[in-house]
């Protein structure tokens, strides 16, 4: 059952700019084991929640172009990291609802199995070049997630520049269009990395820090909320209200108490 208090608060929440949601995997399993995977049923419920709250979806490119003002209603930027083949289920769910999203692709694993350390992530191959072209043709934005899914803060200057440039050029060759958006693998970044992303020709990059997307006023440190395998429509609704990864009832109660104290003082 949807949390009625959070739902009412979410309907009145505006004026903060867009929120970004981070997904990784959408599976046919009713309850996937990997923390960063969600079931197709729950993903659909979460999309329907956004729609019922009046959210319109946008891409990272829309942020750069200034098309994410919430003057006409709240904006959600749905993002997917890595490029797992099961993401095609999510694409279908989005298309049925007339929604869009941004996908961040590890260019060195296109059509192949992931090469980075296994942590319970989905088995099997990543989306291939034909699938990526299909997404792009359908209005989905394709961004970069490096060549090898490495931790950029641990990379040398030379390797950092190569990871950014080679991924960008590979994806551009496949898609036949500019790739302007980037996501830091593992959310691992620092000022050196952010400057390297800018120098490589990207227009914006997103982290895994929570909060409203544009809170820092820096296009290379955009914030996102993570959607986990345990998140229901209710917990996601509370996350939207709080702009936080903590969608618990306790977090909502603390927020409401803070708001009440602020009004009384």
103: β partners: 80, 142
Domain housing 154: 4-264
* CB atoms inside a 10 Å sphere around CB 130: 10
Q: Which pLDDT score, from 0 to 100, does residue 93 have?
A: 97
What is the residue-averaged pLDDT of the chain? 95
Distances from the Cα of 10 to the Cα of 5, 51, 172, 242, 260, angstroms: 9, 12, 38, 9, 17
200 in Cβ contact with 165 (< 8 Å): yes
Q: Which pLDDT score, from 0 to 100, does residue 2 have?
A: 83
C-alpha to C-alpha distance for 165 and 169, rounded to whole angstroms: 6
Question: Residue 95, CB half-sphere, CA atoms under 13 Å: how many?
Answer: 13
CATH number at residue 260: 3.20.20.370
Is the model's pLDDT at 123 over the cut of 90?
no
Average pLDDT, stretch 219-232? Answer: 97
Note the pTM of the prediction, 2 decimals: 0.95
Count up the domains in the chain and report the number: 1
Distances from the Cα of 109 to the Cα of 23, 33, 85, 167, 204, angstroms: 18, 23, 11, 11, 23
Structure tokens at 181: 């958006």
Structure tokens at 148: 């090898």
Output phi, psi for 20, to 5 deg: -110, 135
214 in Cβ contact with 227 (< 8 Å): no
Is the model's pLDDT at 14 over the cut of 70?
no
pLDDT digits (tens, 9 = 90+) for 80-90: 999 999 999 99
Average pLDDT, stretch 184-190? Answer: 98
Cβ-Cβ contacts under 8 Å for 224 (sequence gap 6 or more): 20, 21, 22, 79, 206, 207, 208, 209, 210, 213
More confident residue, 253 or 123: 253
pLDDT digits (tens, 9 = 90+) for 140-163: 999 999 999 999 999 999 999 999
In the three-class reduction of DSSP (H, G, I as helix; E, B as strand; rest coil), residue 80 is classed as: strand
22 in Cβ contact with 81 (< 8 Å): yes
Measured between alpha carbons, how far apart are the two ends of the chain, in Å? 35
User: pLDDT tier at 73 (50, 70, 90 boundaries)?
Assistant: confident
C-alpha to C-alpha distance for 265 and 257, rounded to whole angstroms: 12
- Radius of gyration of the chain from its Cα atoms, rounded to whole angstroms: 18
Sign of CA dihedral 95, 98, 104, 107: positive
C-alpha to C-alpha distance for 232 and 8, rounded to whole angstroms: 17
């Amino acid at each position: 059952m949807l949390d009625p208090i959070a739902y009412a608060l979410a309907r009145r929440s505006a004026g903060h700019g867009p929120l970004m949601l981070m997904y990784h995997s959408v599976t046919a399993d009713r309850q996937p084991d990997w923390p960063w995977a969600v079931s197709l049923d729950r993903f659909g419920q979460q999309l329907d929640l956004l729609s019922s709250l009046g959210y319109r979806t946008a891409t990272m490119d829309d942020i750069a172009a200034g098309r994410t003002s919430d003057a006409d209603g709240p904006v959600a930027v749905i993002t997917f990291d890595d490029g797992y083949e099961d993401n095609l289920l999510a694409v279908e769910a989005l298309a049925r609802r007339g929604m869009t999203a941004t996908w961040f692709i590890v260019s060195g694993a296109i059509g192949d199995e992931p090469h980075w350390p296994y942590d319970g992530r989905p088995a099997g191959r990543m989306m291939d070049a034909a699938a990526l072209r299909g997404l792009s043709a359908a209005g989905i934005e394709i961004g970069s997630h490096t060549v090898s899914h490495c931790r950029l803060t641990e990379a040398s200057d030379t390797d950092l520049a190569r990871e950014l440039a080679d991924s960008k050029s590979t994806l551009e060759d496949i898609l036949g269009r500019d790739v302007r958006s980037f996501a830091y693998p593992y959310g691992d970044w620092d000022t050196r990395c952010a400057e390297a992303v800018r120098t490589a020709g990207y227009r914006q990059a997103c982290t895994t820090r929570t909060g409203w997307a544009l809170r820092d006023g820096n296009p290379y440190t955009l914030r996102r909320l993570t959607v986990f395998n345990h998140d229901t429509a209710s917990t996601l609704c509370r996350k939207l209200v709080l702009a936080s990864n903590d969608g618990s009832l306790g977090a909502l109660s603390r927020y409401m108490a803070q708001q009440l104290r602020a009004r009384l003082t």
